[in-house]
Structure 1
Amino acid sequence: MRPWKGCLYWKTLIRTKPHAIGKYRIHSEGLAWVIIPGKWTFNLACMQIVPWRAFIWSWCLPGLVAAVMLLALPESPKYLLASKGPDAALPVLAKMYEWNHGANNKFPVEKISNTSADMNKSGSGFVGAVKNIAQMFKPPLLRCVIISHVSMFAVFMLSSGLYVWVPDILNNILHGADQISVCQIISDKFANATLSSKDACHAEVSVSVFPISMAMGAVFAITYLSIGVFINKIGRKSLYCGIMFICGIATVAAAFVPHGGAATALIILCLCSGCAASILAAIAVDVFPTSLRAMAMCMMYMVGRSGAAVGSNLLGVTLDTHCHMAFTGFGVFIAGSAFLMFFWPKPEKVRAEMEQQGFSY
């Protein structure tokens, strides 16, 4: 039994598994169904508590609990070995061995031999972070950083940016005619809207939106499970490009199809682009050395979250007045981003060049 097996199992329980994201969305939509339609309100200190505030707080609670639990976990021994050397990694391995075998069993390893020249290359703290970032923007990693970050921006721009507006879009579909496009429904609603000071912040949300959103979560879970089955048979790059291209075409089609049910199905398919984020991370992680890997992944997901913010705000500005243009622009950008993978370098070549510079994997 490997000494780190127990620690990895604990990490697996805390971190979000790929297929668990779909189940998490099912749970969140179920919670929204219970809380948001409520008409209750009360005052807590100087704040008025309404259903949507209670829902947001309840949604944040699992993340806060997970963050507290993560504080009890040690740093990765592999990362410590690459960045600080054997003396820093050995105590962590010994502690993990103790968790697995009990305190009465002595850790049989007394010394770790490390021949890598990667130790202490970048330092630690703010200076080390700056050096790591600078190293990633040099060949041969520069091309990998640009492609992976633009691709992750596109993934989150559609999946999370569109997801913010899905309840509003579905609400329009459920209240509109069935034989016209979703953009026509939104356009007619915007043209006929009369906004007064009395109803400026009032909106009726159809309860039917919540079971549809829960069904979306089930679709995401099935998609993630399918990815696990087919990723080794199809290949990571091919599977990623296929998902992004199909989701891009579905995004364009969702705005023009003259049927509310078909538009809903296409929108759900569009949101499955979020499943490509884990595939993209698996593609990108192979090219970054151990000491740069965590920084690279953090930056990539930070850029992705920026894409979510940009996407949600762009849709918020254009959805009512330029619906067709918004969906078409999003779809073309998403489908086009898949072609960036044709310029992705061979991981073996990148790793060989980085190892010549003294980095280890």
Structure 2
Amino acid sequence: MVPWRVFIWSWCAPGLVAALALLWLPESPRYILATFGPDKALPILAKMYAYNKNSRETNYPVEKIVTGTLDTSKSGGFVGAIKNFSLLFRPPLLRCVFISHTLMFAVFMLSSGLYVWVPDILNSMLRSTSEESITICQIIHEKFQAAKNSTLYASKGSCQSEVAVQVFPISMGMGAVFAVTYLAIGVFIGRVGRKTLYSSIMVICGLATVGAAFVPQGGAATALLILALCSGCAASILAAIAVDVFPTCLRAMAMCVMYMVGRTGAAVGSNLLGATLDMHCQLAFSVFGVFSAGSTLLIIFWPKPEKIREEMEQRGLSY
């Protein structure tokens, strides 16, 4: 039991260190400026200047912040949160919320929903004794049938599960593929454009999901599964697209709600895929792939950020 405790603590350590590091970071001066005004934001800017220049806060050359657009509502607490939350579901932000949240639901439904079952799928493929080239759906169906037959003869309370060792290096390779994908996104996002890059990734990953269910070769199916999981990298691109249209005082709340909807998609996807893998495997993969790829059509209706900003600034909300 000791090695497993060390393993769990090693997973928790980065998160704990990051949480402690946040205590030394100041709040966003842009958020403070929009919420509490220039007088509260100026000291934070001075502190950032001192950190970056290795100097003192008193040496900050700016003495006063002058802005023509401020959020004058300044309503805090629970009432203020409800008021701000309601703004997300009113025009012109309503269309942005609907599109971005639906797209994030699709991203997590495919990436996280499929990711839950990929290790088990890979294990079934690696432990398959079939000499013929069969699809992963046929392998999964044979596994379910074998499990049903074994329960008829197994003693009560017994449970046996074996994991192929090859699953672990493949999982490590998946992490390397994700890292390379994120690096490629950073290189090409400025050249290709955020919406084009997001749509391209989701369409490719959606087609890969459909293909993984019909390809009879295990190596090709594994590669397509890993490619399909790269759809999770599109979440950061979608967040970068969505964040531009929300005012400063609503930005954090909008992102939190969007990711909450995404996590809901992950839960729906994992349970839906788990319930249909045995009897409707190819249909399930096809629906997941088509829905993920087809959802990118919504990006066509994404409004121009400049238009949304102009309308929201007229209401006294700042960016």
The verdict on a shared fold, with TM-score over 0.5 as the criterion, is yes
Taking structure 1 as reference, are residues 74 and 129 closer, same or farther at Cα in structure 2, changes over 3 Å only?
same
Equivalent residue for 1:185?
Answer: 139
Equivalent residue for 1:245?
Answer: 203
| Cα distance between partner residues in 2 of 1:108 and 1:353 | 34
TM alignment of 1:1-361, pairs within 5 A: 41=1, 51=4, 55-100=7-52, 101-103=54-56, 106-119=59-72, 121=73, 123-176=75-128, 177=130, 179-193=133-147, 194-195=150-151, 196=154, 197-200=156-159, 202-361=160-319
Q: How much does 1:219 deviate?
A: 1.1
Q: Does the 8 A contact of 2:37 with 2:70 survive in 1? A: no
Counterpart amino acid of residue 205 in structure 1: V
Q: How much does 1:326 deviate?
A: 1.7
Q: Does the 8 A contact of 1:252 with 1:332 survive in 2? A: yes
Q: How much does 1:325 deviate?
A: 2.2
Between the aligned residues of both structures, percent identity stands at: 68
Counterpart amino acid of residue 289 in structure 1: P
Between 191-200 and 177-186, report the one with greater CA deviation: 191-200
Counterpart amino acid of residue 174 in structure 2: M
| Cα distance between partner residues in 2 of 1:61 and 1:350 | 41
- CA distances 1:22-81 after superposition (whole Å, capped 9, x unpaired): xxxxxxxxxxxxxxxxxxx36xxxxxxx84x66444323311221121122110001100
Taking structure 1 as reference, are residues 321 and 223 closer, same or farther at Cα in structure 2, changes over 3 Å only?
same
| Cα distance between partner residues in 2 of 1:205 and 1:266 | 21
| Cα distance between partner residues in 2 of 1:227 and 1:93 | 31
Counterpart amino acid of residue 60 in structure 2: F
| Cα distance between partner residues in 1 of 2:21 and 2:100 | 30
Q: How much does 1:229 deviate?
A: 1.9
Unaligned 5+ segments in structure 2 are: none
Q: How much does 1:186 deviate?
A: 0.6
Q: Does the 8 A contact of 1:255 with 1:327 survive in 2? A: yes
Q: How much does 1:285 deviate?
A: 0.9
Q: How much does 1:273 deviate?
A: 0.3
Q: Does the 8 A contact of 1:152 with 1:304 survive in 2? A: yes
Taking structure 1 as reference, are residues 61 and 309 closer, same or farther at Cα in structure 2, changes over 3 Å only?
farther
3-state DSSP of counterpart to 1:97: helix
- CA distances 1:250-276 after superposition (whole Å, capped 9, x unpaired): 111111111111110000010010111
| Cα distance between partner residues in 2 of 1:312 and 1:172 | 17
Q: May I ask how many residue pairs the two structures share in their alignment? A: 311
Taking structure 1 as reference, are residues 147 and 133 closer, same or farther at Cα in structure 2, changes over 3 Å only?
same
| Cα distance between partner residues in 2 of 1:104 and 1:113 | 19
Taking structure 1 as reference, are residues 142 and 99 closer, same or farther at Cα in structure 2, changes over 3 Å only?
same
Unaligned 5+ segments in structure 1 are: 1-40, 43-49
3-state DSSP of counterpart to 2:59: coil
Q: Does the 8 A contact of 1:248 with 1:330 survive in 2? A: yes
3-state DSSP of counterpart to 1:351: helix
Q: Does the 8 A contact of 1:122 with 1:131 survive in 2? A: no
3-state DSSP of counterpart to 1:123: coil
